[in-house]
């Protein structure tokens, strides 16, 4: 057990020490505190448990394991809740506008509860796209000893299916390839129980990014949700945060510039989600680390894609778990000089020390490619700019879609109109689908275009059309897609001025996205453009739209 000292009670002592704190102690006695507990550092256990999604339905038990670990190490664990929402359920609906907003609500709530209650350290347990970066941002703002625990991945559904299989079944049905009975069979069996979506979608991308950042214990990102390994991970996190308190190791000691470079390289090697760009920019902002889209370009030039994982590949996260997770990959990358080994992690050791005795993957596996046979020699996260995206955009291009696309704009105001156009046959080969007014301000909330991209794939148009938007994409989206186009349409960016038939070129090799319309003609269009009225004037979406920064800056609300 870690030796407990008064220095480890910097914040809780302000709440429970002295005669003037008697009223507070009386309240805490009612929730189970004893005289001895008031002498211990308090560890806030932020649980994202909710029955609104399979990603988080099991996290209450994991939070209890973290509490036990904190208590075992001499601290006093206190569980509290924050929210979560489900992208998989909300995608394609108005409700999806709350998804990215929830990242800020989660960060705010963790900061609020821990700041108010005087927790000395934090363990956060998250299991869905936005609550993971939300947890990190909240802990980073507080800058108290903290550890993030991933809730774990789901197991595959029948026939190697997952949530993306269901989305794409909708498009397959629209094309006439499968009937309603087959859609129902996929729907009934694709999600077998607890855990986050099973490919290298945003949840597994962010879990891997956070482990590479040093803010999770080694192995945390690659464990099945229902497993003894995951329960042990939570218990050890509760113990270890008390050790971090004793050594005064805080998020800003771990979340350094070098650590973010490591994180970027790992999500590239894993063929991770474009949302990783958005969230890493926001997480870096929370600790005042300067990180820009240009950094993703430079790091991407020398980082290969090595993982054959869904959505662009064939394997699921549970299959990567079975061969050792991301630790052997990181060891390979460290040995190749692609990672900084001298950065501090939540183990209290450097990354190099953590990886020193990690064994390589078993012979014969083909989930993680060797460096001399990569899936792509450089990053699949391609930052594009040009006269259509002057301040940048983000594409996920593995090369399987091709590296260049030229086509005619087919313009839609919002996701619903675009989805209808795809399903009813309005969209045809050679089109560049343009979905605008879905940015952080314009939506508001920057919805994911998973329903349209899945419909495109299901209709068999994956190699025949491209899709661009000032919104964003699910980690499950694949195909020739470009999101995060900035400035967004609501701010009068060039995407707001596009017309049907405009010739658009997307070039992943030159990193350019452009429209063949002269500056003079664009100026004429701009003179006629009128900014639309906000979609929301009250509540959290209205507040978000007023505060949020550009997607190129991470879509943060405290800039």
* Interatomic CA distance for residues 246 and 33, integer angstroms: 22
Q: Exposed, middle or buried, 175 (CB in 10 Å: 0-12/13-18/19+)?
A: middle
SS3 annotation, 25-77? HHHHHHCCCCCCHHHCCEEEEEECCCCCCCCCCCHHHHHHHHHHHHHHCCCEE
Give dist(CA 402, CA 70) in Å, integer.
50
Using the structure block, give the residue that is written with the tokens 């902002």: 285
Catalytic residue positions? 474
Rounded to an integer, what distance in angstroms lies between the CA atom of residue 499 and that of residue 192? 44
Q: For the sheet containing 76-81, what is the strand order?
A: 76-81, 42-47, 121-126, 146-150
Residue 363: Cβ-neighbour burial (10 angstroms; 0-12, 13-18, 19+): exposed
Report the sign of the C-alpha dihedral through residues 517, 519, 520, 522, in that order: positive
User: CA torsion sign, 533 to 538 to 541 to 542?
Assistant: positive
- What DSSP letter does each residue of 228-273 carry, written as one string? HHHHHHHHHHHHHHHHHHHHT--HHHHS-HHHHHHHHHHHHHTT--
């Amino acid at each position: 057990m870690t030796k407990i000292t008064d220095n480890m009670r910097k914040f809780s002592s302000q709440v429970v020490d002295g005669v003037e704190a008697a009223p507070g102690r009386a309240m805490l006695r009612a929730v189970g505190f004893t005289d001895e507990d008031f002498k211990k550092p308090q560890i806030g256990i932020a649980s994202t448990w909710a029955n609104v999604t399979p990603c988080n339905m099991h996290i209450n038990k994991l939070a209890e394991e973290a509490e036990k670990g904190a208590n075992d190490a001499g601290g006093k664990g206190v569980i509290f809740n924050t929210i979560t929402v489900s992208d998989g359920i909300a995608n394609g609906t108005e409700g999806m506008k709350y998804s990215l907003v929830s990242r800020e609500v989660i960060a705010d709530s963790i900061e609020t509860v821990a700041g108010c209650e005087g927790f000395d350290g934090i363990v956060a347990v998250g299991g869905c796209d936005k609550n993971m970066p939300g947890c990190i941002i909240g802990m980073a703002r507080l800058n108290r000893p903290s550890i993030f625990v991933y809730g774990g991945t789901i197991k595959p559904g029948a026939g190697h299916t997952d949530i993306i299989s269901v989305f794409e079944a909708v498009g397959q049905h629209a094309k006439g390839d499968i009937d309603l009975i087959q859609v129902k069979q996929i729907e009934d069996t694709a999600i077998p129980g607890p855990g986050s979506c099973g490919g290298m979608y945003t949840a597994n991308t962010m879990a891997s990014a956070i482990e590479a950042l040093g803010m999770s214990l080694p192995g945390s990102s690659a464990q099945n949700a229902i497993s003894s390994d995951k329960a042990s991970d939570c218990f050890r996190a509760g113990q270890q945060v008390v050790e971090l308190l004793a050594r005064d190791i805080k998020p800003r000691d771990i979340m350094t510039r070098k650590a973010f470079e490591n994180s970027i390289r790992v999500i590239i090697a894993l063929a991770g989600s474009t949302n990783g760009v958005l969230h890493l920019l926001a997480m870096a902002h929370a600790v005042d680390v300067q990180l820009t889209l240009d950094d993703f370009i430079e790091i991407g030039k020398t980082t290969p894609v090595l993982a054959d994982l869904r959505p662009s590949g064939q394997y699921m996260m549970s299959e990567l778990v079975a061969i050792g997770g991301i630790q052997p990959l990181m060891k390979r990358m460290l040995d190749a000089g692609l990672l900084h080994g001298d950065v501090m992690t939540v183990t209290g050791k450097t990354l190099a020390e953590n990886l020193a005795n990690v064994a390589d993957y078993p012979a014969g596996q083909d989930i993680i490619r060797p460096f001399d046979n990569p899936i792509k020699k450089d990053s699949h996260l391609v930052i594009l700019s040009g006269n259509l995206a002057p301040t940048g955009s983000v594409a996920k291009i593995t090369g399987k879609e091709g590296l260049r696309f030229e086509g005619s704009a087919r313009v839609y105001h919002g996701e619903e109109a675009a989805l209808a156009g795809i399903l009813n046959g309005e969209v045809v080969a050679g089109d560049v689908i343009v979905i605008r007014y879905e940015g952080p301000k314009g939506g508001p909330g920057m919805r994911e275009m998973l329903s349209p991209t899945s419909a495109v794939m299901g209709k068999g148009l994956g190699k025949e059309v491209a899709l661009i938007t000032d919104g964003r994409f699910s980690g499950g989206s694949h195909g020739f897609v470009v999101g995060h186009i900035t400035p967004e349409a609501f701010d009068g960016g060039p995407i707001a001025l596009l017309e049907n038939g405009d010739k658009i070129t997307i070039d992943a090799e030159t990193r350019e996205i452009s429209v063949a319309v002269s500056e003079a003609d664009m100026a004429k269009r701009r003179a006629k453009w009128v900014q639309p009225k906000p979609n929301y004037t009250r509540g959290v979406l209205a507040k978000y739209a007023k505060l949020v920064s550009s997607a190129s800056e991470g879509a943060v609300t405290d800039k």
